[in-house]
């Protein structure tokens, strides 16, 4: 093995030498100085409406160790601004033939981090004197409106404005007699995208691993071309839905081609030969269509959004018809498979059902009503305990799914079943029964009532099990007493490769849930439904819709205006959306303009009311009108822009966050059902706004526990301060401490006391110091020297004071030596080296290690062992306790350190806290024991009271 490796090294070296040699023979060596970027081209990205350019160039050789290619872009060939980069790893280099950079989409253009004035990127050495490269490490254009004004109309620009700024920092600016809102440049981030028809100039500058700038490339230009990618629909499906032998409807389901800019205009149904049908679309005036007239269904934008439509079939005198205002077609059920269905895009291109990619569906399929998915009747709930930015659409009862299984062969053969559950607060899973039956057997071999939902069930595999398929029956009980328990089925089939039972899809009411998806649509701010969730898999029973509070607002930039010193954006603003009438009110950011606009709005509504006969609709419109009038009164009071925008902001916050939903259940092959919530009593749509909650009930347990504990702490610390005698049990270690001091006295050697590695303020250090006081007192009584090295210079004087006090208390102030308490160094290892030196030099008889310790503890205790000292440790640093236990003669573990110090010194802070903790622990213990007894006997309310995360 090792030999091979050597050989490969050798061959690599040989190759490298050979490579070097060939380079020097045939080519001029490329160096940092003469490296040149070749084959640099700028191309339009096809089919993208002219919103992007693609830059390509040949990478420089890897031995130049290129770190970055910086891209500079300009609207004139002589001034280029930094606009992005391609990063590489200089060690590895780039393997491909060509490096590309896509300049498309909105990218940062100028914002607050941009340089304040025009900066020439001085590290770039232009190829000629006329070309200038501008920018800093991360930015191109400066925050200089004079410079930016050149970019007006040359880029598509968007301003991203913080909410606070958006409502407060704009001014009226008139440009070309139009009124705009002007924002200070420093407060907006502007994003830019290339525009079709504008010529852009690019240059690439390579940087090597030491950030040395190499020679820039030539300046090359490119122009994005507005060339929309228009394609016909990609897939089309059609289903005839029948109830027994009665046709109900003809369903269409289609999908647009990805990236296409065309939408669908109409669907045609022909009762004719394919060839004849084709001629319909090729017909001209000279060469008219000869066949039967088709049924034509024109598709509006809303239907286009859904991508599916159900055309009812009308029965007249025993015959069935497709019928609408434009056309009608008789349907012959016998020949339904011979009908032709065609979808036509708005650019005239067509897709025939015969040509749809999926061969199984190339003619109209007949399906029974029972094949349709269940209607997704849903409810909308507000998410409790939240800020009010999420609401949840729930269409299905709680589900339990077996997600995976595995065999476990330790002390018998076991099957581990992992499950997941999907539920929602409005109706949650309470428990479920799991019954497992072997294929072909009647009686289940395993039954359990899973009341504690821990996502796993472990069971013993029956002896006669031989990789048979297992049927799992899951009977679900929810917390809703009105819901009858219902059953789900899953098959667990043995897989030879995976050596596990693979769960099948969940079957409910004989329908496999995974054969359908859900699609959620919502309307918000306009009467059209738009998609909010594409394909929610069939086993999910809900969709959480996040309706964020607005943080940024986006406006297109009209111009950078150096004259006013502002960035100009349109003055219009949507004031509200009225869900009752589905009307959106668009006024202006300026009170004066709004005043004019609202007047016209009111007249329009008045005219509309005059025409309407439906009393409910009329009433809604009248309500709307009165709110408009109220707004007008406010505007007529000649309010300031500031006050006006305050009103607008309020309306926006209240009305722009409401949504109404529609859900489709669909197999995406023409079988679908949909559901909308019923209308309100006044005939308007049901709109929902998430609610901002004031109390989080999930945190109730935490809050109660904190209050109880706070009271305990406050009470016991005060009691301890008052000197009330609080009992602490004797700690075994204290006896050991006394013995150890005695031993040092017998041997006539000093005691070493290490007060930990932490500073004052850490509880362990405080505890260590109070133990030091007692140890020092004992030592003074026995007249034994005590050495206290500290790692913290603030700790040193405090420790000195404590030892001095102790000597005084012991009646031996004369024996106190100030130099026995000293500072070594703050560095961890150097401190340990110092302490070890003391142990060896002074031959200490007893070593105390009290306080908090880190990785270094072992170094000290080991030396102590070698010198043969008795060692006593006490620490709350959990990671170090094992080492103290194995290397020391006695160890105070964790809180024992506090207890020992409280026992010895009665320090009120430590003593009081310890007592409070003790009583709180008692409460906890009580709950644990009671809770366990209850939960084991299947009563889980106490368990559930405690938080799960």
Q: Which is nearer to other proteins, 110 or 810 (CB)?
A: 110
Give me the least distance between CB of 673 and other proteins, in Å please. 18
Q: Which is nearer to other proteins, 519 or 578 (CB)?
A: 519
**What is the Cα–Cα distance from 393 to 377, expressed in whole angstroms?**
10
Q: Which is nearer to other proteins, 268 or 664 (CB)?
A: 664
Q: Which is nearer to other proteins, 116 or 615 (CB)?
A: 116
Q: Which is nearer to other proteins, 404 or 812 (CB)?
A: 404
Q: Which is nearer to other proteins, 207 or 336 (CB)?
A: 207
Give me the least distance between CB of 745 and other proteins, in Å please. 23
Contact 256, 264 (CB under 8 A): yes
Q: Which is nearer to other proteins, 680 or 739 (CB)?
A: 739
Q: Which residues make beta-bridge pairs with 740?
A: none
Instruction: Provide the token pair at 671.
Output: 């079988």
Place of tokens 């359990």: 448
Q: By C-alpha distance, which of 945, 452, 424 is closest to 697?
A: 945
Contact 856, 757 (CB under 8 A): yes
Give the dihedral of Cα atoms 143, 147, 148, 154; nearest 10 deg: -150
Phi, psi of 925 (to 5 degrees): -55, -45
Give me the least distance between CB of 510 and other proteins, in Å please. 18
- Residue 761's region, left for phi above 0, alpha for psi from -120 to 50, else beta, is left
Give me the least distance between CB of 604 and other proteins, in Å please. 35
Give me the least distance between CB of 531 and other proteins, in Å please. 12
Q: Please count the CA atoms within 13 angstroms of the CA of 795 that sit on its side-chain side.
A: 27
| DSSP reduced 3-state for 58 | strand
Give me the least distance between CB of 897 and other proteins, in Å please. 11
Give me the least distance between CB of 431 and other proteins, in Å please. 12
Residue 832 is given by DSSP the state H
DSSP calls for 340-407: EEEEEETTS-EEEGGG-S-GGGSS-EEEEGGGSPPP---EEEEPTTS-S-EEEEE-S--EEEEEEEEE
Contact 448, 433 (CB under 8 A): yes
End-to-end CA distance of the chain: give it in Å, rounded.
51
**What is the Cα–Cα distance from 442 to 21, expressed in whole angstroms?**
81
Q: Which is nearer to other proteins, 87 or 319 (CB)?
A: 87
| DSSP reduced 3-state for 282 | helix
Give me the least distance between CB of 196 and other proteins, in Å please. 21
Q: Which is nearer to other proteins, 500 or 639 (CB)?
A: 500
Q: Which is nearer to other proteins, 50 or 108 (CB)?
A: 108
Place of tokens 């799960």: 948
**What is the Cα–Cα distance from 377 to 28, expressed in whole angstroms?**
75
Q: Which is nearer to other proteins, 25 or 878 (CB)?
A: 878
Q: Which is nearer to other proteins, 442 or 454 (CB)?
A: 454
Handedness of CA 769, 774, 779, 781 (dihedral sign): positive
Q: Which is nearer to other proteins, 108 or 579 (CB)?
A: 108
**What is the Cα–Cα distance from 337 to 511, expressed in whole angstroms?**
26
Q: Which is nearer to other proteins, 124 or 591 (CB)?
A: 124
Give me the least distance between CB of 111 and other proteins, in Å please. 7
**What is the Cα–Cα distance from 364 to 823, expressed in whole angstroms?**
91
Contacts of 435 (CB under 8 A, 6+ apart): 444, 446, 447, 472, 473, 474, 475
The helix (run of H) or strand (run of E) holding residue 203 is: strand 200-208
The helix (run of H) or strand (run of E) holding residue 720 is: helix 700-721
Give me the least distance between CB of 570 and other proteins, in Å please. 21
Give me the least distance between CB of 423 and other proteins, in Å please. 15
**What is the Cα–Cα distance from 800 to 805, expressed in whole angstroms?**
9
Give me the least distance between CB of 253 and other proteins, in Å please. 11
Q: By C-alpha distance, which of 573, 552, 638 is closest to 179?
A: 573
| DSSP reduced 3-state for 198 | coil
Contact 532, 545 (CB under 8 A): yes
Give me the least distance between CB of 835 and other proteins, in Å please. 12
Give me the least distance between CB of 688 and other proteins, in Å please. 17
* Sheet with 660-666: strands ordered across: 530-537, 517-523, 660-666, 672-676
Q: Which is nearer to other proteins, 544 or 556 (CB)?
A: 544
Q: Which residues make beta-bridge pairs with 265?
A: none
* Sheet with 155-162: strands ordered across: 107-110, 188-194, 155-162, 552-556
Give me the least distance between CB of 701 and other proteins, in Å please. 6
Q: Which is nearer to other proteins, 98 or 326 (CB)?
A: 98
Q: Which is nearer to other proteins, 264 or 861 (CB)?
A: 861
Give me the least distance between CB of 512 and other proteins, in Å please. 11
Contacts of 29 (CB under 8 A, 6+ apart): 23
Give me the least distance between CB of 867 and other proteins, in Å please. 12
* Secondary structure (H, E, C), 551-571: CEEEEECCEEECCCCEEEEEC
Phi, psi of 692 (to 5 degrees): -85, 115
């Amino acid at each position: 093995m090792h030999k091979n490796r050597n050989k490969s090294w050798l061959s690599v070296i040989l190759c490298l030498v050979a490579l070097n040699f060939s380079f020097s023979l045939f080519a001029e060596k490329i160096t940092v100085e003469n490296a040149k970027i070749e084959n640099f081209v700028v191309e339009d990205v096809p089919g993208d409406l002219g919103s992007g350019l693609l830059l390509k160039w040949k990478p420089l050789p890897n031995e130049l160790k290129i770190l970055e290619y910086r891209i500079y872009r300009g609207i004139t060939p002589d001034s280029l601004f930094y606009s992005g980069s391609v990063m590489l790893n200089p060690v590895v280099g780039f393997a491909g033939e060509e490096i590309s950079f896509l300049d498309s989409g909105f990218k940062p253009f100028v914002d607050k981090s941009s340089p304040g004035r025009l900066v020439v990127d001085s590290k770039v050495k232009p190829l000629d004197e006329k070309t200038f490269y501008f920018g800093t490490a991360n930015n191109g254009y400066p925050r200089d409106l004079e410079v930016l004004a050149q970019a007006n109309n040359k880029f598509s620009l968007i301003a991203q404005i913080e909410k606070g700024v958006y409502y407060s920092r704009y001014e009226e600016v008139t440009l070309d007699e139009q009124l705009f809102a002007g924002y200070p440049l420093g407060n907006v981030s502007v994003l830019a995208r290339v525009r079709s028809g504008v010529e852009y100039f690019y240059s690439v500058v390579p940087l090597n691993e030491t950030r040395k700038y190499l020679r820039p490339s030539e300046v090359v230009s490119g122009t994005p071309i507005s060339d929309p990618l228009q394609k016909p629909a990609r897939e089309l499906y059609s289903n005839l839905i029948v109830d027994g032998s009665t046709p109900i409807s003809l369903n269409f389901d289609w999908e647009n081609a990805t990236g296409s800019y065309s939408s669908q205009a109409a669907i045609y149904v022909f009762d004719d030969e394919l060839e004849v049908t084709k001629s319909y679309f090729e017909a001209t005036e000279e060469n008219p269509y000869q066949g039967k007239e088709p049924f034509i269904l024109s598709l509006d934008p809303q239907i286009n959004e859904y991508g599916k439509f159900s055309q009812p079939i009308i029965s007249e005198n025993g015959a069935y018809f497709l019928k609408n205002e434009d056309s009608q077609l008789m349907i012959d059920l016998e020949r339904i498979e011979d009908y032709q269905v065609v979808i036509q895009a708005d650019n005239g291109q067509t897709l025939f059902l015969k040509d749809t990619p999926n061969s199984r569906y190339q003619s109209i399929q007949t399906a029974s009503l029972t094949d349709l998915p269940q209607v997704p009747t849903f409810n909308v709930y507000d998410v409790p305990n939240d800020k009010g930015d999420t609401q949840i659409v729930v269409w299905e009862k709680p589900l339990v799914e077996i997600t995976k299984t595995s065999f476990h062969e330790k002390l018998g053969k076991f099957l581990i079943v992992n499950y997941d559950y999907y539920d929602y607060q409005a109706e949650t899973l309470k428990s479920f029964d799991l019954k497992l039956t072997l294929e072909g057997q009647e009686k289940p071999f395993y039954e359990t009532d899973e009341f504690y939902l821990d996502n796993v069930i472990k069971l013993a595999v029956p002896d006669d099990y031989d990789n048979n398929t297992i049927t799992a029956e899951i009977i679900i009980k929810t917390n809703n007493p009105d819901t009858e328990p219902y059953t789900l089925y899953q098959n667990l089939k043995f897989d030879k490769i995976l050596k596990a039972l693979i769960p099948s899809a969940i079957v409910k009411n004989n329908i496999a849930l995974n054969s359908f998806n859900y699609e959620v649509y919502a309307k918000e701010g306009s009467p059209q439904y738009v998609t909010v969730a594409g394909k929610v898999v069939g086993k999910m029973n809900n969709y959480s819709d996040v309706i964020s509070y607005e943080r940024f607002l986006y406006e297109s930039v009209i111009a950078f205006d150096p004259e006013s010193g502002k960035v100009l954006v349109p003055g219009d603003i949507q004031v509200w959306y009225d869900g009752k009438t589905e009307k959106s009110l668009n006024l202006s950011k300026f009170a004066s303009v709004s005043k004019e606009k609202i007047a016209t709005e009111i007249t329009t509504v008045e005219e509309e009311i005059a025409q309407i006969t439906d009393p409910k609709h009329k009433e809604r419109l009248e309500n709307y009108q009165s709110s408009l009038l109220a707004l007008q009164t406010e505007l007529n009071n000649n309010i300031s822009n500031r006050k006006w925008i305050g009103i607008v902001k309020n309306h926006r916050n209240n009305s722009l966050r409401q949504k109404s939903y529609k859900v489709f259940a669909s197999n995406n092959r023409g079988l679908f059902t949909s559901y909308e919530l019923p209308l309100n009593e006044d005939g308007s749509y049901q709109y929902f706004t998430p609610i901002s909650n004031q109390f989080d009930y999930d945190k109730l347990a935490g809050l109660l526990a904190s209050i109880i504990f706070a009271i305990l702490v406050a009470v016991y610390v005060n009691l301890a301060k008052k000197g009330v005698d609080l009992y602490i049990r004797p700690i075994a270690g204290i006896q050991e401490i006394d013995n150890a001091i005695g031993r040092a006295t017998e041997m006539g050697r000093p005691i070493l006391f290490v007060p930990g590695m932490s500073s004052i303020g850490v509880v362990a250090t405080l505890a260590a110091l109070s133990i030091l006081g007692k140890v020092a007192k004992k030592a003074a009584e026995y007249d034994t020297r005590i050495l206290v090295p500290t790692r913290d210079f603030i700790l040193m004087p405090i420790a000195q004071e404590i030892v001095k006090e102790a000597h005084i208390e012991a009646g031996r102030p004369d024996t106190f030596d100030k130099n026995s308490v000293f500072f070594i160094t703050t560095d961890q290892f150097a401190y340990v080296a110092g302490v070890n030196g003391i142990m060896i030099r002074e031959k200490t008889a007893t070593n105390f290690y009290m306080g908090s310790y880190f990785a270094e503890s072992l170094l000290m205790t080991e030396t102590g062992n070698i010198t043969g000292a008795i060692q006593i440790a006490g620490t709350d640093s959990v990671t170090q306790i094992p080492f103290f236990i194995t290397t020391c003669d006695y160890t105070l573990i964790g809180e024992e350190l506090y207890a020992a110090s409280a026992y010895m010194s009665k320090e009120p802070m430590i003593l009081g806290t310890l007592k409070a903790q003790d009583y709180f622990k008692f409460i906890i213990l009580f709950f644990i024991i009671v809770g366990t007894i209850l939960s084991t006997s299947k009563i889980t309310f106490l368990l559930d009271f405690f938080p799960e995360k």
